Structure 1
Amino acid sequence: MAYGMLLPTWSRHHWRLIQHFLQMTLLLSLLCPPTESVPRDNGSSSSPGEGCEGFQVDVCGVCAGDGSTCELFSGTLFLSVLSVGYHRILDVPSGAQRIKIQETQKTRNYLALRTAAGDSVINGDWVIDRPGQFYAAGTQLTYKRPNEIRSRAGESITAPGPTNQELHLFVIYQQPNPAVYYEYILPKDTVTDNDSDAYSYSSVLPLVESHGIFPDPGNSDSENSLSSSHPNQVPSDPITPEPVPLYSWLAITTTPCSVTCGTGSRQVLFGCVERATHTTVPGDLCSITSHPGPQVEECQSQPCPAFWDVGEWSECSKTCGPGFQYRQVICQQEQGQHGNSTVIVASSLCDNTDVPETTSVCQLKICSEWQIRSEWTECSVPCGVGQRKREVVCVDNLGDIVADEECNMALRPQDLQNCDKGVCASSWFYSLWSDRCSADCAEGSRSRSVVCMMSQTNSLPLDNCDDEDKPDELMPCDLGPCTQRLEWYTGSWGQCSSECGNGTQSRGVVCVVQNSGQLEVTSEDRCSHLPRPPSAQTCFLKSCGSQWYMTEWSSCSRSCDGGFRVREVRCLQDDLTTSHDCDPALEPANKENCNTHTCVPLIDESCRDMYYNCVVVVQSRLCVYSYYRTTCCASCSRVTQRDTLHRIR
């Protein structure tokens, strides 16, 4: 390295000072560990502001901090009209903390999350997960989807972090113009990179930090600079430093940067050197336990150019035949300190000569087609307007008949149409005259049927015959004057028995004999061979509205000493449906007393008291014993009947 060629110009005194300073710095790093905050365990439940009473917590979650320990990334992604499906809109880098992703308003769209390895975390594979807790990328994620009708808040995904891998945010597009706000922080590097590679954090080991250990060969005041105040320098102390090993591990070179643009990483390679001369020696001369192990540092290169990011192809616009499918193509660029945050930028920043296609021709299968399998049938009528039909089927590309929905219904050929066979010749047709006259005596008429029909072919009546030429349907007949003709004679209907609702009305019906135009009332027995007209019929003047209906009384609950009987009372409308419009003052009683006469006890001659002092047995309540119930039968029976009556009441 460059500083290795300057070693011959240094004096032995300088080297002793350097060795002494290395020893002091090593002791300082061992006795006074770094004061940097220890990262919290991912499983810790403490909040960023816990234990910070009286102080302000900054955006990095540091108590009384100034926000310099992290970098905040936030913004709002406004998306235009997309195709229905998944669209990748944001990459959340590894190490992100305090992640917050929120729809700006409630929509029919869904947020989806997937790891960089391709594992679905939330709403993957067209399966919408229920809101709740999910664990991925080394952190717990909270997915919320307000389902209240009045809520206007959209979906959200939050996580405390830090993540151990990159997360990809998708939107499942269902509704135009989605807008998503995102916010997360990335902690800044704990070691500041110097301008020269020789002064990187891994230049001198095993020191934890390096603050200008190697003097400037061009500076003659290097000794004074070493004796000046240094952050890792301790004052003169009687502590005797341990001997410094003759050989130590030293950063020799680095691997190429992992990326050709943006911020990447490279591995620091160490070699065993002699401390006095910095000459590379075999590795077995250095202590294997003091080997620093793999060390990785960031490396900066030119900013990455913007690139085209293509989405998934949509479904074909046609289920059969040529159609189109679409995909979203957006211009993205890696930004941010770690180079793993991708944002959407203007399309002009991408290479316009190599824009991916957004539309593609597609065809899932050959469309089915309509086929006419038969000729038109004969017209359904020999004259006039009728119908004819033919067989039309939908056939797929294999020649099989399929459902009509498989073909384009707008292009379906007609399978039924009208046909006109010209004007039909029609005539009046009539039947024979009836044999009987309509009257048994005096004048009557005989009848026949007359219809307009088409000659010999149509059996249906028509209406296009000339009415002036229509034959007569009635012909008069006279069987002579009426003598001794019996018939029923009816009077006019009387008044309806009910002012509203259903009632009855009656009329007089008598048997009369007609003789030469004269009517004479005779016995009804003489007209018994004739159908008797009804003398009564139901009548209905108007609706009664709601009124009370009741059932018959039930049986009395007791045969004596007072009981009760009940009946059901309802208020019904004219259509016998329940109503509440009846007059409560006219409501019939639904319960009444009955059998109020006193009960006469049945005297059992075999049930008598055998002793004169049975009243004492009753007072002492000894009737519960069979002996006393037998010797004082009459007294105990009266008590039993009285108790039974009280229980019933």
Structure 2
Amino acid sequence: MISRTRNFQRGCLTGNNSEDRCGKCEADDCHLISGIFTQTNLPSGYSKVTRIPRGACHVNITQIKPSANYIALKVHRGQYLLNGQWSPTSSHRFKALGTTFVYRRPLSSEPQPATEYVRARGPIEKSLDVMMLHRGSNQGIWYSYKIPTNKNKANRTNAMQNDQSYLHAAQPYYIPPESLQPGIQSQQLGQPTYLQPEYSQVLGGASQRDARRADYLWRVTGVSECNRTCGGGFQNTTVVCVEQEKQAIVTADNCDAVTRPPVQLIPCNNAPCPPSWIASQWTPCSTTCSAGFQTRTVECKQRISDTISINVALARCNAEPAPPAIQDCNRDKPCVNWKFGNWSRCSVDCGRGQRSREVACNGPDGKPRAENTCVGPKPIVAEICDMGSCAKAWFHTAWDDQCSSECGEGVIKRRVHCAADGACAARSRPRNSKSCQNEIPCGGIWFTSPWSKCTATCGAGVKQRDVSCIKKLGGGALTIVSEENCAIDSKPVTEEECVLQECPPEWFHTEWSDCSTSCGSGFRSRELKCLDADEATSLSCDQKLKPDTRKSCYSECRRTQEQPSRRHHQSSSHGDPGSCEDTYDNCQLVLQARLCPYYLQQCCRSCWRFRTS
């Protein structure tokens, strides 16, 4: 950023002494403040360009080159007047702060190099923050305004303090006084003018810079605004670099950084603040989609000093309504998630191929939605699959560089792989380990038993083995000794994870239900589900292994008190069925199939001979 002030004495730039009070300069000096905002690597959103003080006029803010960025205006400690809340507008005029602003945003169809600008005659009634809505590369923003020093000499100091250009220059530019253009008069608001790049000269090497520093010195020009209006705040002294002969403010790179006076803090506005509502940050929304809510704490507090704030009675804040402590969120954001199927088989049997799956963006109702409405990135649809080498032979790695033992005898290993899925000849399998001898002897060596079987038949499990420290005795005999005789840091692991093939989907079923009838033949049933290894519903279970969902059952019939005994029938009816009636439609089939012992009650009449036999 580059900025500069300039004085105009005895007569305004137009030669007309009847200018408004902002340009009135027949008795005293008037000051033009101008600069270029060239800072790069800006965050997305709003960045401050400069602050124009109250009373300034002949305001001109112009983008040097066309860009995707927007000029925005904001009342200092107030609301946006132009292009705020992420809502850029088109060209228009508007009245604010006691003057009329002219905003021009060229259309894309207009000839180049038309650029965006804002102008106002002024004077402005409040301090104005010039902002940039950053959406692309910063091509530079030129600004200028005049301050009537005969009315308020403090304005010039405040303008210097609030202008970031004095303390945060993007590059070590030096602007010769004769290169600065005079301010633009109100009747000249047709075509924007600004500082051309050729007027900016970059200082040379270190020796040239050191030679020039003797002509510049640091100067304390005033203090900043108090950072608080009450409750104890601070003001910072403002230090700028000036050229000794003309007392012109230049960029800080011209002065010696070692001799720069330290910034001092001055207490200000120490009176306690009136009680006010203090709200904390909103909590995250209770849902990531669909209607949810978020909360925050709202307290009535009074700031006593820079370090002390106390809670006071809620009634002391009743002059203003309390901020809400709960609010809705994600009401207009329905849950739209990605749905994806299982991976297909690899497109090749050996070598590298591809496998794919279906991925869809579905709403809560299961219907397809636009992909840009789904939560999160889209899952991959296809990926590379490696089915191993197509060559049917043994492959092996190189031998390990180090012996497994730091002392005495050990082993070195290599990995051996069959590229034909188990079809390689076992007798030609290369060794995967061999002995090695270290020059350093040791008392004991680690002995490992074979690995146990994996605790799982599919999926992830654990396998174990025994590890013992053994030592050779005289005559070649071995004995188990304590682990202190072996190198502890090289002890083999006793447990290791084993991952087998992924568990296939399986049939799950409930227990059999009770018999459907309490007397005679009926059936039992149960429910089935096909679930994968994650217990999610699957359609890939083997139908040949599908369990039955229904089976027959029989319940023995018991006599009731109303049912006459066999002896009673014999004695009363003498072989006559009497009033005994069938209650089952297929009793004749029961009789033919010789199932009467099981249907005596339901087929009483048809089976009466069986009852009397």
**What TM-score, normalized to structure 2?**
0.28
Larger-Rg structure:
1
**What TM-score, normalized to structure 1?**
0.26
